[in-house]
Structure formats: structure tokens, C-alpha cells
Structure 1
Amino acid sequence: MKPDAAGLRHAALDAHAVLLVDDEPQALKWFARLYGDEFVVLTASGVTQALALLAQRGHEVAVLLTDYSMPGQDGVALLSAVRQEHPHVSRLLVSAFADKDVAMAAVNQGQVEAILEKPLDEAITRQALREALATSRQRTRDKALIERREATLRETLGFLAHEVTTPLATVSGYLTAMRDRHQEALACKPEVAFIGQRRPGEVKAMLDAALRRSDYAQSLVSSFVQTARDAYHADSSASLRASDLVQAVLDEYPFDEGESGWLSCDLERDFTLPGRRDLLYLVICTLVKNALMALRSAPPAQPRVHLVLNRASPAPGLPPQAVIQVIDNGPGIAPDVLQRLTHEPVTTRAASGGSGMGLVFCQRVMTSMGGTIEVRSGPDDGAVVNLYFPSIEERLNEEPT
């Protein structure tokens, strides 16, 4: 069976078509002609042909309308198979009065969502198809939402595991160093323990650094827990200010000694952020960490990381958008690495445990919020990372009504 022209025109879309299954050729032609003005209609002359069509184009079919009485397998058998293999499809049964008991059984077993009696009433049938199409689309949206939530949790968990490893490894290193420098207590003071220092204040510095990193690791874990909780609730309108998010990173990030002095901020052009604080917090922390690591690898005379709240256009011809910029004056990024960032895992620090997943994670977070991420750099020219956020008007227009 060849699909009609309308079917070909819409083949690239998601589920949208109505599939009628009937063993009477005239019934198929009549249905396609009568309802083709409003719906994309596909037809099949029996259960076998319908299952074959669904195997190839099941993602296009939103509504199945099948006759009950057909040679070979009946309509209820088809409905049962579709329920298992294509759960997004709304299932309707066409039944003559004589088949009423069978039809009711199909309803009670959950294999069919509505029954239309022969001969079909046009107005009733159109309304039933509209409602079934809406139901199918809602199922598709719900399924996509669940899949996005699951993917977000998986990616966030993987990212979290990687990010927590670094501060915990540092904590472990400091504790190991102090254990190795532990000295036996003096006979005159058996209650006092001693830890050897190579320079004054070294032990306290290690304890302070370990404490900062353990606090940071705890904040990452708390962020993930909040993400997991929020994934099962509807997104609420945001009230988080960009300046508050930047300030939280400055207060909580575990900077090495002296590194906090490398940072400067320009927070005057503040704005309201979309999305949840936890994911955006991980994004900003990742960008700050990347900038600090770049500066450590080839420190300039005056290392600098500048965080700016601004408005800028993501591309020529597009209106300005709210943007968070993370700017450093490090060694820059090689062109072959730059063009792959945010699209695939790529790292120049594999030897020290880098996975390259950081910017990929940031890109996915920004995309989920309707924004995007841009990285600009050149060799020996530092790096600029722009996080573009949609305007409030754009976010309202994108929300389902």
C-alpha cells in the first residue's frame, strides 16, 4: 500500500496521522476522502498490513481506528498488539451493533479508548479523532518529559561523580600527608600528638584547604539531591537573580590559597534566571574551575577571572540577550580543540583526570533552559565563555498553554 500525498508531506513529523484499518476497500476510500481535509489519513486492509505499516511508520501514527469484524485476526487483536508495541497511539474501535458485547469487553480490558458505531456519524467521528489526537500528543509529551528527566539525572550523576572526585582526592592527599608526618608523643606529654611541618602554618593551611574542599563536595552532593527531587515536580517560575548565583559561587567555591584574589565581578546588569539554581550553580562552578586550571597551567603576571552580567547578541542580526560571561587571561584554547568544545567530550588534561564532560554538561543544561553557550578564544589570548539566556517574553511564549 502506498501512502497518500499528505502522508508523504508530513513524514518527517512526530505522531500526527490517523490509521484506519478495514477490509472493505470502499470504506477506506470513503474515510480518506471525507476526513483527509483535516487529518493525515493512512489506511490498511487488514491486521497484517496494519502491523507492517506500524513497524515502518509507527512514530507517525497518533490514532488507530479499526473495524472489529475482519477476516483472519479481528480488530481487538490489533488493538492489543498496538497497546503493547505503540503505547503512544490512541486506539478506537469501529463496531456494528451485533458486536457490542465484544466491543465492551475490549473497553473493559483497556485495549480501546472509545467505540464508534457503524455507520460512522461524521460530526461524532471528527470530534473523537480530535480528542484521540490530542491524547496521543499529550502521551508523547509526557514520555519525552520523563525521558528528559531521566537523561538529566543520569548526566548530572555522572558529572557529579567526576566533580566530587577532585576535592575528595585533595582531602585524601592532605590527610595522608598529615598521617605520614605524625610523630610519636613525647614521654613528658603523652596526651599530645605532633605533626611535623616543613614550614610554619603548613598543617593549618592543609586543614583549611581540606575543609573548603569537603564543604564544596557537600554542596555538589546537595545540588544533585535537589535536582533529583525537582525532576519529579513541575518546573516553577524562576526567581533566582544572576548576581545571587555568582555570589554563591564566590562564597562556596574551594579556591586554593590566593586564587580568590584572581576573581573580579561586574554584576550591575542583573537579571532573573530561568531554570533551577542547582544546575546553574554546577555550570558556573565548572566554568570557574576550567578558568582557574588554565591559569595554573601557564600563569600570566596577573592572573584574572572576570565574571560579568551583561546583554549581548549571540549572533549577528539577533536581538541582545541576558548573558553571564566568564573571562580569563590564560593561555587560550587551540583552534582544533575550540571547535569541538560543547559538542563532544574533549580535554587537554586527561593525565590529571579531566574527562571533557564539563562543557558538554553545561551545553545540555543551557539548552534545556532555552539558552545556549558560546566559547571564544585564541592561542595566548585567554578565553571567554558566554551563557546566553532567553528573555522572559521568549520563555513565556515557549511555555505550553
Structure 2
Amino acid sequence: MLRSSEPELEQPETIPQEGVWSRRIVRVLCGVILVFFWVDSLYLGRFSAWMLGLRVVWAASMLGYTYMIRLRPQWGGLLTDLNVLVSTACVLGLTVEMGGVGGPYFIMVPVLPLAISLIYRRHVRSVIVCGAVGIAGTAMLLWREGHSLSHTLTWMSVVTGIALLGAYFAQQTLQVQQVEQQARLERARRESLEALACSEHRRAQSEKLAIVGRLASGVAHEINNPLAYVGSNVNYVHTELLEARELNREELAEVLTETRVGIQHIRQIVSDLRGFARMDADEPAACSLGDVVADAMKLASLRLKHVSFLQVDVPAELPEVFVVRQRLLQVVLNLLINAGDVLESHPVPGSEVRLIGRAEQERVVLLVEDNGPGFAPHVLPRLFEAFFTTKNPDKGTGLGLTLSRELVEQFGGTLSASNRPEGGARLRIELPLRQAGLAEKPSTEPQAEARGAA
């Protein structure tokens, strides 16, 4: 049976892109930052403690950031902003020391937001922080050096434009990553649903095969009933044909006709088993309960030959029921055979089996009763459990009543058991009346529900 609920997918905890940097890469970057101090010294022609200090702070910020982002990943946004702020400030400090706007490092100020947008691709805010600090620093440098208004506006426009471009790139990159992440989650969800559907299909197949196996275990019991009747009739015909006396053709014809009925019932049982394996049961139809009982009595007569009294009180005028006729016949036959087995193993004087049919409100009731010992108190609650039986292994498998109840429930009816007040067992079948219009257009919903329940 397929489930309709969707599985809950756990979203993997994502580590920021900068958090996956290896320590080796960070060490290389810090080494490059420190080694370029000698380039600064060559350009200045002297040793500058201020330049060395800025580069040490910059390298320490990179190392500290890498360590903290692994230790406290939940602080990723704040740590990134702080690292970007320190890096931008160090670049501005180096620019001031190396000649300001005309120095070789000033180009790093407007370019830095673009670099940040590529390095910290998930943090738009960090790019904005870098751009804002860079704009403020550029304005201070231009004011300090006394540049003209047009020159100042030109540089401010360039730095601001590059900062906005970096923020835009960062925003687009973030959206692309979110779309990719959503696509991965959707793909994982789809794969999970497909795996769940396959699993449910396999489970449904396993359950169906288990039920088919359960029916196969009991099919011998169901087939043996008409098979014994057919075998007895064949032996009778064989004996009659071998004896050197005049044959009673009418009696032989009647015996062969009844034998054909038994064979048809065996074929129907096999067909039912195969049909259930394919999950395509026959459609129910309106039929007379009296006719079903008559056919069941005919097939069960050989098994009930030791019963002293066999009473049938099923009025022909009972309302029709809407069932699969052969399956209801199988149920009634099974109950009759069970009653015969009980009376055979527990003989009582004046043993009897009674079938009583009556209409009660919107239901048709069939009672199958015997005057045997009845059901023991510990047996009655477990009577319809699969594989539960009080018979010897050669007499039953414990599946007959279970199967009978399932078949009756497919018709919207019920099968219950109790002890008669006067002694003996009583099996009660309740079936809904045939409703107007069902014969012309039968409903398949009860069958679908029964298949799902089975």
C-alpha cells in the first residue's frame, strides 16, 4: 500500500564558502601578505615599522578568521564582516603610507569590493561594508591631498560604482547559490519520494504475495471439499458401469451433472486464487441467497452424510443480495464443512446442522448452526485469527474462517461467531440488501477498500 505523505528532508548544514578554505591556502595567503613587506621597503627605500605592523595585523586577521569560522560557524556573518573591515582598513593604511592616491596601492581600494564579492560569495553585507569603508577612505585621501572638486568627484564616482558593481555581483552569486541549493533539495526530495514509492510498491507486492501464499496454504482444504464429492461420484459411476446389470441412465446423468458442478467449483476456487494474485476480482451481482445455499448444500451433502438432521430454512422470497456469487458459495460451503467436521469429531445424539435465512431491517442474515460442543471460551476470541485452529493438521490449516470473513467483508457484510443458548455453535453472516441501480452499474469502491485492507 502506497503512502501519500511526503518524507521530511533534513537540510544539510551549509558551511560558508570561506569556511572550507584549507589551512594551507590561508598560510600561503598570509605568507604572500608578509613577504610583500620587502616590496614596500624597496619602494620606500627604507624600513617601515608601520607597514610591517599593518601586514602583520592583516595576516593575523586572516588566520584568526579561519580559526573562528570553524570553531563558531553560527557567527559566520559577523566574523566575515569583521575580517573584511580589518582587511579594508589595512589596505587603506598601506595606501596612505605608499603615497596616497598616486601610490601603487590605491588601485586596490576600488578593486577590493570586487575581490570580496568573489571571495565571500555568500555575504552581500560584507561587500557593502568593504565598499563603504573604501568610499570613506578615498574621500579622506582626496581631501587630505587637496585634489580639485572634479578630480574628487571622478574618483568618488569610480570607487562608488565599483563598490555597487561588487554588491550586485555578490547578490547575483547569492541568488544563484540559493537556486542551486533549492534545486539540490528538490532533486533530493524527488529521489526520496521515488525511493519511497518503490519501497511502498515492494511492500505492497510482499503483502499481496503473503496473502496469496496464505490462500495457497488453505486452497487444498477448500478444494478437498468438492474434490471428495467428485471422487465419490466418479467411483459410483465406475462401479455402475462395471456391474453386469441394467444401467439407470437418469441416475447416472444426475450424478454426472452434480460432478460437473463440483468440478466447476474447483475451477472457480483456482480462478479466484489467480484473480486475487492479479488483484482483479469479479464484479458483484445481485443473486438469491436461497440459490447459493442450495448449491452449497449439494456440494456439502457428502461431507454431512453422518449428520442426523440437516435443516434448511431459507425462504425463497428473501431480498436479493449484491455479492460475488461463487465467493459467497465458498463461504457457506466452508461453514457447512466446518460444522460437519465438528460433529464428526464430537458426535452427539441427534446431530444436526441448520441454515436459517431471514431479513432484518436493511440486512439479510444467514445463520449456520450446529448442536455440537460449541466454542470454548478461550477459542472464541481467536476464532478468526489466521492459522489458528483446533483441528488436527490433516483436517485444517486455520485459514478457512479467516478467508471467509475477508470474503464477506468484501461484500460490505460481516461474519461473526457465538454459542447458541441451547448449546452448539452459531456462525452469523450479515449482508447488505441489493440497492436500486447497483445491478446496472455496480460500484467498485467496496472492492477497492477490501483490497487495500487485505
How far did 1:19 drift? 6.5
Q: Which of 369, 374, 398 is the equivalent residue of 2:411? A: 369
Alpha-carbon distance in 2 for matches of 1:386, 1:303:
20
Q: Does 1:285 align with 2:333?
A: yes
How far did 1:359 drift? 0.9
Which residue of 2 is the match for residue 390 of structure 1? 432
Alpha-carbon distance in 1 for matches of 2:284, 2:228:
38
Aligned CA distance change for structure 1 residues 338 and 233 (closer, same or farther; 3 Å): closer
Q: Is the 8 A contact 2:319 2:359 kept in 1?
A: no
How far did 1:336 drift? 1.4
1:195-234 alignment runs, 5 A limit: 216=262, 219-226=265-272, 228-229=274-275, 233=280
Aligned CA distance change for structure 1 residues 371 and 173 (closer, same or farther; 3 Å): closer
Which residue of 2 is the match for residue 159 of structure 1? 218
Which residue of 2 is the match for residue 321 of structure 1? 363
Q: Which moved more, 1:370-379 or 1:241-250?
A: 370-379
How far did 1:159 drift? 2.3
Q: Is the 8 A contact 1:330 1:380 kept in 2?
A: no
Alpha-carbon distance in 2 for matches of 1:170, 1:393:
36
- Structure 1: stretches of 5+ with no match in the other structure: 1-13, 26-66, 90-139, 177-191, 195-207, 313-318
Q: Is the 8 A contact 1:300 1:330 kept in 2?
A: yes
Which residue of 1 is the match for residue 383 of structure 2? 341
Alpha-carbon distance in 2 for matches of 1:340, 1:193:
50
Aligned CA distance change for structure 1 residues 88 and 23 (closer, same or farther; 3 Å): same
State the aligned residue count: 267
Q: Which of 285, 289, 294 is the equivalent residue of 1:242? A: 289
**Structure number having the greater helix percentage:** 2
Aligned CA distance change for structure 1 residues 348 and 372 (closer, same or farther; 3 Å): same
Alpha-carbon distance in 2 for matches of 1:68, 1:390:
57
Map Cα deviations across residues 328-355 of structure 1 (whole Å, 9 max, x no partner).
1222222211221013433222154322
Question: 1:161 is aligned with what amino acid?
Answer: A
Specify the SS of the correspondent of 1:327. Answer: strand
Question: 1:282 is aligned with what amino acid?
Answer: Q
Which residue of 2 is the match for residue 82 of structure 1? 192
Higher RCO, 1 or 2 (CA under 8 Å, sep at least 6)? Answer: 2
Alpha-carbon distance in 2 for matches of 1:174, 1:234:
31
Aligned CA distance change for structure 1 residues 151 and 211 (closer, same or farther; 3 Å): farther
**Structure number having the greater strand percentage:** 1
Map Cα deviations across residues 286-334 of structure 1 (whole Å, 9 max, x no partner).
100011122223333332211122235xxxxxx7632211111222222
Aligned CA distance change for structure 1 residues 275 and 328 (closer, same or farther; 3 Å): same
Q: Is the 8 A contact 2:288 2:319 kept in 1?
A: yes
Alpha-carbon distance in 2 for matches of 1:389, 1:81:
46
- Structure 2: stretches of 5+ with no match in the other structure: 15-177, 236-240, 244-253, 449-454
Q: Does 1:350 align with 2:392?
A: yes
Specify the SS of the correspondent of 1:342. Answer: coil
Q: Is the 8 A contact 2:387 2:398 kept in 1?
A: yes
Alpha-carbon distance in 2 for matches of 1:169, 1:397:
35
Alpha-carbon distance in 2 for matches of 1:324, 1:223:
22
Question: 2:356 is aligned with what amino acid?
Answer: V
Q: Which of 160, 178, 181 is the equivalent residue of 1:70? A: 181
Q: Is the 8 A contact 2:309 2:352 kept in 1?
A: yes
